[in-house]
Structure 1
Amino acid sequence: MGANILTIGHLARKTDTKVETIRFYEKSGLLPAPERTKGNYRAYDLAHLGRLSFIRRARDLGFSLDQVRELLSLSDNRNQSCAAVDAIANEHRSEIERKIRDLQALKLELDSIIDQCGCGTVAECRIIDSLSPSQ
């Protein structure tokens, strides 16, 4: 293969992505299907590498597949306003903030349960009691 052509294995290593995930991104339309070699191997190019790196970074930031799809679509039209991109990012940030609040409330509840534990026997354990269904 040429210098700028990557096999799926090389693409996977360069982007720290599992081969199965790359195939999934292709099937879901996030990553365009590559050309095939005469031996019917996938032949990825630098555009695939860039697009997959974009997808991976967006996923690492927690964007959903639908949000990634929208961001990719917006990214493909570079002359438009980035207001739609900002809206997606702000929506995602709001969801993260909600999850943080939920996790903080969960932590407080767990702290309270742990603090009630007298470290006696399991029969007296407040943690076990709080996890058991009410009788």
Structure 2
Amino acid sequence: MGIRRISRETALQFLYQEDFTITQGQEFGYDLEERFDLFCTLFQVNKKAKSYALSLLKGICPRLDEIDSQISKAASNWRLSRIAATDRNLLRIAVYEIIYGDNVPAEVAINEVVEIAKKFAGEESPKFINGILDAILTGQKS
């Protein structure tokens, strides 16, 4: 498994943890790097994976509302709050890489989160995530 995959998994785990803090009325109003360093210490994150994971988080967190808006538009018939937390955070990672990332082809970003979904999410999650990301990618091209 490549370092970027491990980085994405680390970002997923961090976002998953923080998702519950946000839903309790708090925002990412803390020092992200400091919080991430603590997370890495507690969960013994691969040192080589930390850099890209932090880069993803620094990109996702300030754009969370924009990213969530993209997901909501593409996930017709689904409220964002009703999407499983793992799926929601995998979508956030991929949407960030598709829309704002400049060094990852969209197809790679989609494939990566679909593969991670097979490991961390429910049985139907890979198809669900792939469908939403395909709708976002199609919307970006038109």
TM normalised by structure 2 equals 0.25
Which structure has more relative contact order (CA 8 Å, sep 6+)? It is: 2
| Max Rg structure | 1
Larger relative helix fraction: 2
TM normalised by structure 1 equals 0.25
